[in-house]
Structure 1
Amino acid sequence: MIQARLHKLLTVTMAGTLAGLVLAVAALPLGLVLGLGFSSLAAPYSELPEHLVTPPTAQRSELYAADGATLITSFYEENRVEVPLTEVAPVMRKALLAAEDARFYEHSGVDLRGIVRAFTANQGGPVRQGGSTLTMQYVRNVLSGDPTLSEEQRKAATEVSTARKIQEIRYALALERELGKDEILGRYLNIVYFGAGAYGIGAASRRYFSKSPADLTLAEAALLAGLVRSPHTDDPINGDADAALRQWSHVLDRMVETGAIPAAEAARARAEGLTLKTSSEPDDCAAVPEDRNDWAFFCDYFTTWWNAQPAFGASVDERHRTLRRGGFRIVSSLDPKVQRDAQDRVLTVYDLDSPHALPTAVVQPGTGRVLAMAVNRTYGVEPNPAGQQNRPNTVNQLVAGGDGIEGYQGGSTFKMFTLLAALEAGMPLNTHFDSPSRIVTRWPVSGPVSCGGQWCPGNANPEWMDGDRTMWTAFGRSVNTYFVWLTEQVGADRAVEMAERLGIVFRSDDDARRARYSARDWGPFVLGVASTTPLDLASAYATVAAEGIRCTPLPVNSVADRAGRTLDVARPDCRRVLDVDVARAATDAARCPLGDQSAFGRCDGATAATLRPRLGRPVMGKTGSSEGYGTETVVAATPQLVVAAMATNPDDPRDPAGEQAQVGVVNVVGGILGTALRDQPVRDFAPPTEQIARYGTGRGD
């Protein structure tokens, strides 16, 4: 009994000592090891670090289109796909064991015979063989690759020291007592690095041979097994191909020596040779399928959304690392059919190299989900001609704004916010005003729109716009003087607050200052002088179409973690911001500009009269032209879908889109709605009460 125990202790002692020698460190002092005792080396499994019991390996996250099957792209730091051992070709297992640990199924985590062999082989020259078992290598890989540890902690896990080696042995012995050999082998295969950015056998077999690990041949398996020893230098794609072939031949020899395969099989493998069939996995937004480059703008918006979610970390950097290492399966809201149709239609107005762009957003009322983001630009960082910051190549967010893109003037689409503020203040849709060609206001300005120092805007088409108007006819004909007067009655600050309430973001510093400090004096706000984006406008009008329910724009349908658990973060973030009757009243007036008819038959005149007849279903929205036709904007909404598009020059706002651009924008917006809703039921808007239509809400002050 004592003899057996002493032999066991000496075995562990020699294992640690020789392993230290192989690693070119001082031999473990015998007195130290005896002092530690066997029980200290053989740590209980329950005391193992949690990341060894359940290794938190970095996993790539995959972003899919709304159909859940079309891959948009992947995000990863380590290209890795978990594969069960049963789905790995038996020959791959044999090759790995022959190369790294032929006695794997015989030892208990530490192989004294293997350490002695390595020690003997390495005498009198540089270290060529290691004494670590596959279990010990697994421990080292987990500790060095643990994404929850700091860089310093990961380096400490692989330092060349006696203390680290003792710890590695203790952990390996504990794992072997609790986990089956196949479990350890499967874990190892899923964590080890094979070079060329491929972590784990699943990624490696695809990277080098474009196949699943279940289909690997003997020759292919031998190559992969040989890469484990020096993956950073010997991979045949980016490193030393000759060294990789030498290792390949060595593995075949070892497989014969260990009895894993007959010599004849090795000979056949050599005779057949080895052919790489490499493939690379998409990574990040620049790696969407080449023929669907337009998806990258949506992908870019998704990453911005992700990086703003506190659920994924305390900082933007931490959230981004979580995406690239967390193994999430993300089903986005991008509808490939709607996106393709939107992109194709945008390109009928402007080509990819046009100085003018038509950023377009498609949003779902009631959820905020973004179905498409189209623009006539190529997503990429390739250099552009001098002076062309955003064409033909850009990674700037032209559709949603941010990262230096403040947006574009929305023109008369902003009249919606004054309309809503007036309705909310108690004014009825039937509010009459005899609209003059020009109106002198109380707001002081200078320049061409000044009359004696006061802002005095006029109607673009006096003959068609002037005269007695109501909210219905003034909105339908886009009568500037009516809405400027209405803004004076209700207060410009209320219109500004309404815009922000519905999701308009003031990205321009000047706009943000005005909104915060001088909104009462910002009369021109009603005519859309503030910068906005198609996504903001679509979201704001979607709030009205959803009867006052504001939903934050959302680029995902579902997010599941690596364990398959669905996360709440993908739920729509919606809240009521408008009274139902106020929203319905605004919708009733907003049917007029697009050729539809209000529930009270009060529409008379439209700025885009062809849209409703062409669409063939109820629709509301607004057109907008900024000063000098610098931008041309169209927003159109049904109960199921909202589309907003803005014709502009993103690089030079002094280069106007021109009045003639509006026809093309109307056709794009109407066409997208028609195609997207072709197979959906026709839904009408609920009418407002007669009270708010004729008499107001009674909440005026």
Structure 2
Amino acid sequence: MSNRPLASAGRAVPLLRAGLIAGIVVAAALYPLVAVTGIGAKATAHAVEQKTNILKTALPAETSYVYAPDGKTVLTMFYEEYRQYTKIENMSPNIQQAIVAAEDNRFYQHHGVDPKGVARAFVSNARSGGVSQGASTLTMQYVRMALRDSATTPREVQEATQQTSLRKVKEMRMALDIEKHLSKDQILERYLNSAYFGHRAYGIYAASQIFFSKTPATLTPVEAATLAGLVKSPSEYDPITSDQKDATGRRNYVLANMARLGYLSPDAAAAAKGQPIRLKLTTPPNDCAAIDGGHRSWGFYCDYLKNWWSAQPAFGENRLERMDKLRRGGYRIVLALDPKTQAAAEKNVGAKDNTGSPFANGIVVAEPGTGRIKAMAVNRTYSLDLADNPNSSNPEAGPKVKANYPNTVAPLLGGGSLPGYQAGSTFKMFPMLAALNAGMPLSTAYDSPYTYKSAVYDGWAPSNASGAMTGRQTMWSGFGKSVNTYFIQLEEKIGADAGVRLAEQLGLRWRTDVDKEQASPAKAKKWGAFTLGVSDATPLEMANAYAAIAADGRYCEAIPVNAIMNRDGTPATYSTAGGVQREIAKPRCRQVVNADAARAATDAARCPTGDTPAKGSCGGWSTADSVRGTVGRPVAGKTGTTDSTRSAWFVGYTPELAAASFIADPDNPFNAVGDGQSQIPVNAVAQTLRDALKGQPTRQFTPPSDQIVG
């Protein structure tokens, strides 16, 4: 009798265990609702519901692709997580089956939370005294990944990943709800596009590319099982860096499960297990320094794209948000660069000075009427590797600062934070254009002595470059010979601030403290030296400003793209002040000066190039009279040099293209280029325009009216 209770108790243990498991199974199904209610916070339940609604439509971060102008050739990508979203119908059934076999055998039986899995994990963990087995279904794992991907603050990231009971409760609740709104195929598609496989491969497309250099549609059972096995622990089962023993073991586990679930025959699974893991690795390019394939020099253009993108309000409130969009938004970006024009620019810049010169010789080519930048080239190699660069020759930079040659990623051509270079007499265009737009005729004449003392500018007395510039000048001859004292008098007449404000309307920005102060409303009227080009400017700004003159006074913002498509294939748009949706990649243009004034400025600007104006006389000689013969078609433009020829410029244009070239030492502005090299930008522009336009019909400039000629 005394032994019976003990015997009864012994027989009761299995029943007790069975009862506990049954209770756990029931509790598992009810736990999300009960626990949330028990926690009691209606706000918590509301937050879960809100998150669930977000996850129903949320898509993971996706790689943005940059294409050549053909819209087909991929030049580079931008990503934090290398991923290309792939529809499930474009995935091999092998990978769909392998991921179920690897992560959730009962995926097609449960409704988001698997009671049997919870019970099994509870028993296993109780026996081991720790966490030896989890109970997360594919749906729950997808919820966790989606919460992480949709997080916008550090706190949200922490909440999505922290190991707490509350997080698990929310995860289970959301999984149950998600399964009411998404089909199993939709959940599987999202899971396979979200999962991390190691080596910066996010999603099955990236994993297929990086490990096997193929698309998900062509994955074999062996390849699919290898990739599916990585999700549990990408580093532990990594077949690239390990001896593949663990990776092979994990793969074979997945293959065995595929056979057990009926996805593979026992013989096929056995044959697959006997195969070695054969990788065919691909390293996807990322950012501008990764551009190659014969297009490495396009890195400077790519860098301009990045800087332009970071300044577009359509992509976010600040630079950080905008760059995040670029790296996560899945855009398809087609560059506006023209390969023929780019090749011409590279050839004609590279021929003037090699990459090992401290003097940077660069050129930018813009398209009048659209603002699209067709070429950017400089005698530098676009590279992050500065190890072999010499130390800067600028004493102010310090001995440990590397110069920017032969390698650099500095925005030497514009579009970034660098102020540019003093542009010299190319700035004479701005007061002349302002005067013409105000109604002054091209025939406006002044006696131009060698030195002129200005009463307006407090006795300032600038001089001409030579005595041959003295005498009575008009806009034609004054511009053609670059007569300083003529333009000081013209500037006095219209006000220096008129030229400053017009330059701003044509896209110029003041970046140095000195330029900002001089251009301020309080001082612009007295900035007499403005017309002599004492301000810094970039070739990007100057090419696009002169392009507006070629386009009859219609200024278009500089833009590096022909098209920007969202991940769904629709054009990326922005909302105007009036609420109208416009494509971001479309030209944004406005009339800055009247067409007749622009045509008159072009007529005067034909004089510096050795071309013949339609209406007036150039006065016998010009500063760049070889340009017309080199280009072989109507051309206008202006030379520019600074004191001691520390920099030299030429900006030239035809009706089709406008180009600005400079030569200067970006590391040391006191390192003078010298008169002997001042012809380099002239030749670079003339030869680039010639080569870029070869084979195209010759277009003529529209002459100005007789009224503005005077």
For 1:594-613, what aligned pairs fall within 5 Å after superposition? 594-603=609-618, 604-613=620-629
Equivalents in 1 of 2:236, 2:155: separation in Å? 23
2:541 paired with 1:536: yes
CA contact (8 A) 2:62 2:330 kept: yes
Question: Taking every aligned residue pair, what percent have the same amino acid on both sides?
Answer: 46
The Cα shift of 1:213 comes to 0.9
Deviations 1:139-168 (CA, angstroms, capped at 9, x unpaired): 222122224x42322322333333333333
Q: Tell me: CA distance 1:606–1:138, structure 2 relative to 1, closer, same or farther (3 Å).
A: same
Residue 100, structure 1, aligned to residue 108, structure 2 = no
Q: Which of 571, 590, 604 is the aligned partner of 1:589? A: 604
Q: 1:492 to 1:179 in 2, by over 3 A?
A: closer
Superposition deviation, residue 12 in structure 1: 10
Question: In the alignment, is the contact (CA less than 8 A) between 1:19 and 1:131 conserved in 2?
Answer: no
* 1:31–1:531 Cα change, 3 Å: closer
Q: How does 1:325-474 map to 2 (within 5 A)?
A: 325-383=328-386, 384-387=389-392, 388-400=402-414, 402-403=416-417, 405-442=418-455, 454-463=459-468, 465-474=469-478
How far residue 248 of structure 1 moved from its aligned partner, in angstroms, is 1.9
Letter in 2 for 1:573: R
Moved more, 359-368 or 46-55: 46-55
Whether the 8 Å CA contact 1:401–1:407 is kept in 2: the answer is no
The residue type equivalent to 1:615 in the other structure is: V
Residue 9 of structure 2 corresponds to: none
> Do 2:456 and 2:492's aligned partners in 1 also have CA atoms closer than 8 Å?
no
> Residues 466 and 601 (structure 1 numbering): CA distance in 2 closer, same or farther, change over 3 Å?
same
Question: Which residue does the alignment assign to 1:190?
Answer: 193
Q: Does 1:64 align with 2:67?
A: yes
Distance 1:626 1:495 in 2: 19
Letter of the 2:82 partner, please give it.
N
Paired position in structure 2 for 1:214:
217
Q: Which moves more between the two structures, 650-659 or 158-167?
A: 158-167
Q: Deviations over 1:465-510 (max 9, x none)?
A: 3333211112112222222232233332222222222222121211
Residue matched to 1:663: 679
In the alignment, which residue of structure 2 is the partner of 1:14? Answer: 24
Q: Which SS does the other structure have where 1:105 is aligned? A: coil
Distance across 2 between alignment mates of 1:30 and 1:481: 86
Query: Aligned partners of 2:630 and 2:45: how far apart in 1?
Result: 79
- Residues 357 and 13 of structure 1: CA distance in aligned 2, closer, same or farther (over 3 Å): farther
Deviation per CA, 1:537-581: give whole Å up to 9, x if none: 111111111111111111222222222221222222211111221
Tell me the secondary structure at the aligned position of residue 361 of structure 1. strand
Contact 2:480 2:605 (8 Å CA) reproduced? yes
Q: How far has the Cα of 1:437 moved from its partner?
A: 2.6
| Structure-2 residue corresponding to 1:76 | 79
Work out whether residues 558 and 570 of structure 1, in 8 Å CA contact, stay in contact via their aligned partners in 2. Answer: yes
**Structure 2 unaligned regions, length at least 5:** 1-19, 393-401, 574-582
1:562 is matched with which residue?
Answer: 567
Alignment of 1:9-158 (within 5 A): 14-15=24-25, 49-125=52-128, 126-147=130-151, 149-158=152-161
Q: 1:33 to 1:84 in 2, by over 3 A?
A: closer
User: How far apart are the structure 2 equivalents of 1:351 and 1:669?
Assistant: 17
- 1:451 is aligned to none
**Contact 2:414–2:538 (Cα < 8 Å) also in 1:** yes
1:18 and 1:119 in contact (8 A); partners too: no
Equivalent residue for 1:572, pick from 578, 587, 598: 587
Q: In structure 1, what is the Cα distance between the partners aligned to 2:290 and 2:588?
A: 30
SS in 1 for 2:161: coil
106-115 vs 427-436, greater mean Cα deviation:
106-115
Match for residue 224 of structure 1? 227
- CA separation in 1, counterparts of 2:22 and 2:194? 26
Letter of the 2:534 partner, please give it: V
CA RMSD of aligned residues (A): 3.0
CA distance in 2, matches of 1:131, 1:261: 25
Partner of 1:294: 297
Who is 1:163 aligned against? 166
Distance in 2, Cα, partners of 1:121 & 1:62: 46
Query: Deviation string for 1:361-417 (max 9, x for gaps)?
Result: 1111111111111111122332332224322222221101542x2111111111111
2:183 paired residue number: 180
Is residue 490 of structure 2 the alignment partner of residue 486 of structure 1? yes
In terms of mean alpha carbon deviation, does 201-210 or 297-306 score higher? 297-306
The aligned runs of 1:653-692 (5 Å cut-off) are 653-692=669-708
Cα–Cα, structure 1 residues 183 and 501, in superposed 2: closer, same or farther, change >3 Å? closer
Matches within 5 A, 1:257-336: 257-289=260-292, 291-336=294-339
Quote the Cα distance in structure 1 between the aligned partners of 2:608 and 2:567: 49
Instruction: Tell me if 1:644 matches 2:660.
Output: yes
1:320-352 Cα deviation digits (max 9, x unpaired): 112211111122222233223212221111111
Which residue pairs with 1:450 in the alignment? Answer: none
**What does residue 5 of structure 1 align with?**
none
Write the distance in 1 (CA, Å) between the matches of 2:500 and 2:32.
Answer: 78
How far, CA to CA, are the matches of 1:152 and 1:466 in structure 2?
72
Residue aligning to 2:398: none
Distance in 1 between residues matched to 2:381 and 2:27, nearest whole Å: 61
Residue 361 of structure 2 aligns to a residue whose secondary structure is coil
TM-aligned CA deviation for residue 227 of structure 1: 0.6
Write the distance in 2 (CA, Å) between the matches of 1:673 and 1:430: 30
Q: 1:372 to 1:13 in 2, by over 3 A?
A: farther
* Conserved 8 A contact 2:315-2:325: yes
Please give the alpha-carbon distance, in whole angstroms, between the structure 2 residues aligned to 1:121 and 1:11.
Answer: 12
**C-alpha separation between the residues in 1 aligned to 2:22 and 2:519?**
74
Instruction: Please state whether the residue corresponding to 1:421 is helix, strand or coil.
Output: helix
| SS of structure 2 residue aligned to 1:130 | coil
Q: 1:240 Cα shift?
A: 8.4
The answer to whether the 8 A contact 2:645-2:678 is kept is no
Q: TM-score, normalised by structure 1?
A: 0.88
Higher mean C-alpha deviation, range 384-393 or range 78-87? 384-393
Q: Secondary structure at the match of 1:645?
A: strand
Deviation, structure 1 residue 264:
2.8
Which segment drifts farther, 265-274 or 299-308?
265-274
**Residues 230 and 622 (structure 1 numbering): CA distance in 2 closer, same or farther, change over 3 Å?**
same
Question: 1:440: how far off?
Answer: 2.7
Structure 1 residue 31 displacement after superposition: 8.2
Deviations 1:88-142 (A, max 9, x none): 1222222111111222223333333333344444443253432222222222221
Aligned mates of 1:376, 1:34 — CA distance in 2? 68
Structure 1: which 5+ residue stretches go unaligned? Answer: 1-9, 21-27, 446-453, 695-701
Most deviating of 529-538 and 123-132: 123-132
Q: From the superposition, tell whether residues 600 and 237 of structure 1 become closer, same or farther in structure 2 (CA, over 3 Å).
A: same
Distance verdict in 2 for CA 1:239–1:541, change over 3 Å: farther
Query: Which string of whole-angstrom CA distances, capped at 9 and with x for unpartnered residues, describes residues 226-274 of structure 1?
Result: 1111135543346785543332232223223333223332333343311
1:73, CA displacement in angstroms? Answer: 1.9
Q: Is the 8 A contact 1:206 1:278 kept in 2?
A: yes
